[in-house]
Amino acid sequence: MRRRLASVTLVEVLAAALVAACVAKPPSVVSGPGAVPLSVRAAGPAGSCREFRGVWVATVGNFDWPSAPGLPAARQKQELVFLFDSLAALNANAVILQVRPAADALYPSALEPWSEVLSGTQGVAPEPLWDPLAFAIAEAHARGMELHAWFNPYRARPASSVSPAAASHVSRRRPDLVKAYGRQLWLDPGEEDVAAHSLAVILDVVKRYDVDGIHLDDYFYPYPEKDAAGNVVEFPDEPSFATYVASGGVLGREDWRRWNVNRFVKRLHDEVKAVKTGVRVGISPFGIWRPGRPAQVRGFDAYEEISADARTWLQRGWVDYLAPQLYWPIEQKEQSFPALLAWWAGQNTKGSFLWPGLAVSRVGEEGKGWPAGEIAEQIRRTRAQPGVTGHILFSARALLDNRAGISTELLKDVWAEPAGLPER
């Protein structure tokens, strides 16, 4: 695939950067899943700069890749190679690839069906058969980039689904574990079998693939839905809560929900490390833990509304890195990027990596888009903040399209030279 950028092609952007900045020679690229042994990494840059430069590649709804469901396997591979070539040329050093968007898989799995984003029908393998995750790992490593596998532990069916659930999908195998909520299906975090299943899926990937990291995003309990009258609809977890109370549980419902998620996060970290100590476990929660932290901040209460106690995960050392989604501009006082960045850095008492998420997707949005310089300045702020050693950009699509000149802006200054990965 060769996408045309909004005004300037990515090839032209990269050519200009080679003239304007000192850029190390990129590693040789050999296409194909067998290009290099999975344990081999291309040599990193020789420069002194070290920071995590990640890019999210979302697959749900074919958001970033593949460009449409049902493409031939050769076209899917071509698009992925072009995407990785482009990110490597932009001097990114890590890819966060969504491999389980909806209790399904972008790799051959005995536990869950093939994702519909590949074939167009859930449960139907790509034709001819190939392994996108193994291919992506090899292509990323051949370019000196890490590959983190991104999982959604609780989402079972998004509203964007286009095909029926496969017979092997959890909503059909174990309907007792799945709740309808709004236009989605959601795995109930209060069910012990849900945690066991999601952990088994993740650990299967850790055991079988040479991933550098395991990544969760901000979806834990679902974001609140409202009825026709505008009232918030309660997530229907009465049966699992009643089972907890009957067993002698004393927590209130909201505390119990947070306890469910906290236990899952801790188990995830501990069990991944028991399999492979070198695989990093990271989470990218909503960027506001609670309104009033810090004092000027207003907005959505992730702690209360989706039971995400990200400060506890950070302070207990249950994550190797945290990437709070700081998707607001610097000058927006009630959701101030620098104020939130400093607050999160102050909560990092265990010294985990802190790599905030930045919203390149908001650059050039119709009617209210940010200028590309906003992201460049946010990157400068992360470098100036003690305890922060990188950032992750959402998402690849904006970079490939060079939306409002964002790729040009990055290569002009803040990503002009390659960076090594941070060390402890």
Q: Are 405 and 9 in contact (CB under 8 A)?
A: no
Query: What are 271-310's pLDDT values in tens digits?
Result: 999 999 999 999 999 999 999 999 999 999 999 999 999 9
- Is pLDDT of 52 > 90? yes
Query: What are 371-382's pLDDT values in tens digits?
Result: 999 999 999 999
158 CB burial (10 A radius; 0-12, 13-18, 19+): middle
CATH topology of domain 10-412: TIM Barrel (3.20.20)
Q: How large is the average pLDDT for residues 69-90?
A: 97
Residue carrying structure tokens 């919203």: 359
Reported as a pLDDT band with limits 50, 70 and 90, residue 34 is very low
The pLDDT, as a whole number, for residue 367 is 80
Query: What are 159-203's pLDDT values in tens digits?
Result: 999 999 999 999 999 999 999 999 999 999 999 999 999 999 999
**Least confident range of 48-52, 165-169, 294-298, 316-320:** 48-52
What is the torsion angle, in degrees rounded to the nearest 10, for the CA atoms of residue 137, residue 73, residue 98 and residue 223?
180
Q: How large is the average pLDDT for residues 238-251?
A: 98
Strands (E) across 312-359 are located at 321-322, 353-354, 357-358
The pLDDT, as a whole number, for residue 392 is 99
- Is pLDDT of 55 > 50? yes
Q: For strand 146-151 and strand 280-283, is the pairing parallel, antiparallel, or unpaired?
A: unpaired
More confident residue, 172 or 5: 172
Torsions phi, psi of 234, nearest 5? -70, 135
Q: Which residues contact 231 (CB under 8 A, 6 or more apart)?
A: none
- Is pLDDT of 257 > 70? yes
Q: Which two tokens stand for residue 399?
A: 């970079």
What is the torsion angle, in degrees rounded to the nearest 10, for the CA atoms of residue 47, residue 283, residue 142 and residue 62?
-130
407 CB burial (10 A radius; 0-12, 13-18, 19+): buried
Q: Mean pLDDT of all residues in the chain?
A: 91
CA dihedral for 356, 212, 138, 93, sign (positive or negative): positive
Q: Which residues contact 22 (CB under 8 A, 6 or more apart)?
A: 416, 417
